[in-house]
Structure 1
Amino acid sequence: MSANLIPASRVETAVASADILGETPLWCDRSRKLWWIDIDRRLHQSFDASTGAYQTSSYDCQFLGSQALTADGAHLLAQDLRLFRQGADGAPIAQVCEVEGGLDNRLNDGRVDARGRLWIGTMDNQLHRPNGSLYCVTGNGEVTRSFGDVIVTNGIAFSPDNRTLYFTDTRRYRTWMFDFDLDDGVIRNRRLFADYSSSQQRPDGACVDVDGGIWTAFFSGGRVARYRPNGEIDTVIDLPVTNPTCVCFGGSDLKTLFITSARKFLDPHQLWAEPRAGHLLAVHGIAEGLFEHRFVSSSR
């Protein structure tokens, strides 16, 4: 079966943000905004599609690695190796937990499951050592390590029936799938879902649509691909940028695919040739997404 090709001409610029390393887009159905980060500029950003309003907040850390929505309307923000809670009311930021310590790592991609737990991984700051791990963080700040030997954590996503967890190690060029026990919060039966080790293509951030399709951005690959649950690619979006990083569905009907991208690692000629590099991009009407689960805090 040949894949449906969506041309770059259908890809719009939602925000000309010129991110160094844009990442982790999330649609919030309460604020009706798209939220995302620029890891290297340590910016938390939001876009209101109905008004065009674009806002940013900066943080004092080395890397703002990831984010998640919370049940009480706040945000979880991953700063270096610690998680913080930023209230929606502008309250002072408060530490939730330190996920990891003692390694030259930082927190990277994460996603909340249907029970309100955050699954988040670390990555090697040098991009080649298997220093990283996948962790599960509960609402009381308890951290459990699931496995290690990870170079760059990415692509964490759950199937619509909550029975499968997808996980990518970008610098191993592979995506795996696990059986997921929602009640116990345990993953088992790791097996390969997609393997690009021979071509060294870099699968990055991912999300899942209502039909169980897995949408994956390919860093340095200039495209987003949709996998069927059986691993076949049925749709490819050609992009006007080399470095897409992550994807999510948003908008009032959850039928707009938002795509973050990066200027990082592009030389001056590439930056000149790609004026939209680092921008927040959007494609309308290609599939329907799912609402993001929210992190549920509990008192210690």
Structure 2
Amino acid sequence: MTTRVEVAYQSNNRLGETPLWCGRTNRLWWVDIEEPTLHCLDPASGVHKQQSQAASFLGSCALCETGGLLLAVDLGLHHRRLPDVPLVALAQVEKGLDNRLNDGRVDQRGRLWIGTMDNALHRPNGSLYRVDPDGTVVRAFGDVIVSNGIAFSPQGTTLYFTDTRRHRTWSFDLDLDDGVLHNRRPFADFTSDRQRPDGTCIDQDGCIWMAFFGGGTIGRYTPGGRLDRVIELPVTNPTCLCFGGSELDTLYVTTAWKFLTDEQRAAEPLAGSLLAIEGVGKGLPENRFAL
């Protein structure tokens, strides 16, 4: 079966990441981590806005229950209430390590789960953290190279987590009452073919959609860990995904041109663009940080 991949916005991101659909405004948010820039697209009108951030890295973003966004700026979290109002610091997640914040996602109780990663991409300096609405930061575990692929089952009681540079994805039981992870277990292992699993999202059937950086594909896995669909893309580096649109039936995919040679970039004019795929499923509303 042939699946049509559209261009939602030709954004030319060096490292596009973390697409989030806001159902209140019918807009899509995402970041370019290394520029660093916050992007917003109104698909109905085609209006696109962007805002550069004073940082080395803009790791990810999350929607807030009270409005605005929570931004992962270098190693700290900041609330962006309005475009022209200064950011308000919420929490410093780490200090003293050559790390940055990377992928994050909010659970059903309004807590943010976010990971750090090694800037050199090979040292196990990173960790996964839970950030409570009052700014309390709790370290769940360490020994992580590149934190990625944080997502939750439709019931919210399973957390998925990927270490891209270890080529593995795990699942955990999440106690929604106390916010503690239990029963770490393998979900998918890519060590044999050295694929680089990146960002993920969950559909209404509880299947896990995963982007493969450097692999030029996205894949869907059943809750039992079986790959049941692969979609080839016109770019080498898909990074993350989310479902959006009024019916949550458009799959948006951020991409990157980072690590591509000049020749590869010339051959991939869509590298760094925001892509859209229709008719592959429906998603779930994004949880909001209970700031």
TM-score range normalised by the length of the shorter chain: over 0.9
TM-score, length-normalised on structure 1?
0.96
Give deviations 1:185-210, integer Å, cap 9, x for gaps: 11111010000112110000000001
The CA distance in 1 between the partners of 2:260 and 2:85, in whole Å, is: 37
The CA distance in 1 between the partners of 2:36 and 2:285, in whole Å, is: 25
Give deviations 1:7-27, integer Å, cap 9, x for gaps: 4xx000000000000000000
- 1:21 and 2:15 are equivalent in the alignment: yes
3-state DSSP of counterpart to 1:156: strand
Name the counterpart of 2:44: 50
The CA distance in 1 between the partners of 2:156 and 2:132, in whole Å, is: 17
The CA distance in 1 between the partners of 2:67 and 2:252, in whole Å, is: 21
Q: What is the correspondence of 1:260-299 to structure 2 with a 5 Å cutoff? A: 260-297=254-291
Give deviations 1:219-277, integer Å, cap 9, x for gaps: 00000000000111111111000000000000010000000000000001110111100
3-state DSSP of counterpart to 1:269: helix
Contact 1:120/1:136 (8 A) holds in 2: yes
Name the counterpart of 1:120: 114
- 1:60 and 2:59 are equivalent in the alignment: no
Q: Following superposition, which runs of at least 4 residues in structure 1 exceed 2 angstroms of deviation?
A: 88-91
Name the counterpart of 2:87: 93
Give deviations 1:141-190, integer Å, cap 9, x for gaps: 00000000000000000000111000000000000000111111111110
Name the counterpart of 1:188: 182
Q: What is the aligned residue count?
A: 291
The structural deviation recorded for 1:89 is 6.0
Q: What is the correspondence of 1:125-144 to structure 2 with a 5 Å cutoff? A: 125-144=119-138
Name the counterpart of 1:111: 105
Name the counterpart of 2:160: 166
- 1:11 and 2:5 are equivalent in the alignment: yes
The CA distance in 2 between the partners of 1:160 and 1:43, in whole Å, is: 30
The structural deviation recorded for 1:6 is 4.3
Contact 1:6/1:235 (8 A) holds in 2: no
The structural deviation recorded for 1:91 is 2.4
Change (3 A) 1:87 1:283: same
3-state DSSP of counterpart to 1:36: strand
Unaligned runs of 5+ residues in structure 2 are: none
- 1:202 and 2:182 are equivalent in the alignment: no
Name the counterpart of 1:211: 205
Code of the residue aligned with 1:156 in structure 2: it is I
- 1:79 and 2:73 are equivalent in the alignment: yes
Code of the residue aligned with 2:31 in structure 1: it is I
The CA distance in 2 between the partners of 1:96 and 1:210, in whole Å, is: 32
The structural deviation recorded for 1:90 is 3.5
TM-score, length-normalised on structure 2?
0.99
Could you tell me the percent identity over the aligned residues? 59
The structural deviation recorded for 1:216 is 0.2
Code of the residue aligned with 1:18 in structure 2: it is N
The CA distance in 2 between the partners of 1:91 and 1:102, in whole Å, is: 29
Change (3 A) 1:29 1:88: farther
3-state DSSP of counterpart to 2:269: coil
Code of the residue aligned with 1:287 in structure 2: it is G
The CA distance in 1 between the partners of 2:283 and 2:68, in whole Å, is: 22
- 1:147 and 2:147 are equivalent in the alignment: no
The CA distance in 2 between the partners of 1:162 and 1:75, in whole Å, is: 21
- The CA RMSD over aligned residues, in Å, is 0.8
1:256 corresponds to which of 250, 253, 270 = 250
The CA distance in 1 between the partners of 2:20 and 2:277, in whole Å, is: 15
